[in-house]
Amino acid sequence: MYSIITAAILLGLVHALIPNHWLPLVAVAKAEKWERPELLSVAFLIALAHVAGTVALGIILGIIGTRLAGTYNEFVDIIAPVLLIIFGLIYFSVNLPHHHHGAQEDVKQYEKSRTRWILIFVGMMFLSPCLEVESLFLSAGAFGVKGVLLLAAAYAVTSIAGIVGLVMLAFKGIHLVDTHFIEHNEKRITGVILILVGIITFFLH
């Protein structure tokens, strides 16, 4: 369970680094000359929407994992780590390129009334859950409902803090990492994390 939670935290951070999670919001905020408190509140709202979509689907998969664990005793020892490794290999091999567009294009795309485009951002983030972490929810189900909820809490805190933090840093013009590298290698990084967790879970149970 410790390895699964660690993986969720790492995936939450990697996923938060993807520019399309926060760059459009920063571009609009600068164009509209928003104050920092206003940007902070909106950033928290869209991060919460993203987490809600991910956790909602994750809890469903976690319940499935709990039932599988109750039916098949081998689920924790064999099936769960094998599934993680398979998902990891899939993500590592399918590293699809992302669509690139500039900040000015983002401003034009979302240049509507404030309430309307905030709703667009919230809806977009809710309907684009972090699919990479869902396999971890399935594995956490083997440890019961408490394990699923603990994983959900760890992922929620990491993702919300990551997205909000990056929004505020980018708003100040501070760039801590090469987001271009993360954007192009997100799937490979995710794949490596899932494979490692699968191997660790297989040998340490």
Q: Return the pLDDT at 153.
A: 93
Distance CA(95)–CA(49), nearest Å, equals: 25
Q: Return the pLDDT at 113.
A: 64
Give pTM, 2 decimals: 0.70
Percent of the chain at pLDDT above 90?
A: 12
pLDDT tens-digit series, residues 153-172: 999 999 999 999 988 888 88
Q: Return the pLDDT at 156.
A: 92
Percent of the chain at pLDDT above 70?
A: 68
Distance CA(42)–CA(100), nearest Å, equals: 24
pLDDT at 28 over 60: yes
Q: Compute the average pLDDT of residues 138-153.
A: 88
Q: Return the pLDDT at 76.
A: 58
Helix (H, G, I), strand (E, B) or coil at 51: helix
Q: Return the pLDDT at 134.
A: 83
Q: Compute the average pLDDT of residues 97-126.
A: 61
Predicted confidence band at 22 (pLDDT cuts at 50, 70, 90)?
A: confident
pLDDT tens-digit series, residues 170-203: 888 765 555 566 556 666 777 777 677 777 766 6
pLDDT at 97 over 80: no
Closest CA to 134 of 88, 98, 93, 76: 88
pLDDT at 141 over 60: yes
Q: Return the pLDDT at 2.
A: 81
Handedness of CA 81, 83, 86, 88 (dihedral sign): negative
Closest CA to 30 of 170, 174, 177: 170
pLDDT tens-digit series, residues 37-84: 888 888 999 999 999 999 998 898 888 888 877 666 655 566 666 766
CA dist list (Å): 183 to 21, 45, 95, 179, 195? 11, 23, 10, 6, 20
State the chain's mean pLDDT as an integer: 76
